[in-house]
A and B are shown apart, each in its own frame.
Chain A
Amino acid sequence: AQSVTQPDIHITVSEGASLELRCNYSYGATPYLFWYVQSPGQGLQLLLKYFSGDTLVQGIKGFEAEFKRSQSSFNLRKPSVHWSDAAEYFCAVGAWTGFQKLVFGTGTRLLVSP
């Protein structure tokens, strides 16, 4: 069965510092991997996705993520965090067969300190 682990419930980062959010997945085949961001009271917005090709993927808002098959990881990174990045971040895994049943991690809440 598919599963996703986001080991950090909360992370606090100073504005301007770098960020890495961890995501580990369990899946029997090559997964489709996604990172979503949710601001308070809002829906989820897609940051980036991986399904094949280059293992370093670029997303919106200056985020990137690297797929590491040997570690079953898909960590999200940003070189310099802005106060507006404070939100909750969800990693998700799925298998696209013309249909998608994504399995989500429990989320990591990012706090940005001045």
Chain B
Amino acid sequence: DAGITQSPRHKVTETGTPVTLRCHQTENHRYMYWYRQDPGHGLRLIHYSYGVKDTDKGEVSDGYSVSRSKTEDFLLTLESATSSQTSVYFCAITSTGQKDTGELFFGEGSRLTVL
């Protein structure tokens, strides 16, 4: 158990409204990631963080922003949700111990529907 909690697990919202998804980890890992999963696309990286207040863009970052004000929380915000952002969002962490080899550990996902 990687100690990752995502909230909310399910959300339905309307086009144009802001949405924030939260990822909380209990393991004090440095690296955190947000992916989205869509049929036919697998998982695609949205944003990632390599420390408090240190974030960078992934391959599908348009329309998303992130924040990390403390180690345990990584927030993904859709400033103005669109129907194309209907997806399942996964948070992940990488452990960085001496014997680790970079595998990602995933949360259980947040299903977002934008009407």
Contacts and interface: CB of A to CB of B under 8 A. Distances in A.
A42 B107 CA distance: 9
Max chain A C-beta neighbours (<10 A), residue from B40, B43, B90: B43
Name B's interface SS.
Answer: strand
Nearest to B102: A96
A102 B41 contact: no
Interface stretch (A43-51, A63-71, A74-82): A43-51
Interface stretch (B13-21, B44-52, B77-85): B44-52
B106 interface: yes
Contact of B102 (A42, A90, A94): A94
B31 A100 contact: yes
Interface string A98-109: 111111111100
A106 B38 CA distance: 9
Could you say which interface size class chain A belongs to?
20 to 34
Contacts of A107: 42
Nearest to A52: B101
A4 B41 CA distance: 11
B40 A106 contact: yes
A43 B109 contact: yes
Nearest to A98: B96
Contact of B94 (A42, A43, A51, A100): A100
Contact of B44 (A34, A94, A104): A104
Nearest to A45: B106
Contacts of A106: 40-42
Interface of A: 4, 6, 32, 34, 36, 41-46, 49, 51, 90, 92, 94, 96, 98-107
Given A43-B109, A49-B103, A98-B96, 8 more contacts: A6-B42, A34-B104, A36-B106, A43-B106, A44-B104, A100-B102, A100-B104, A102-B45
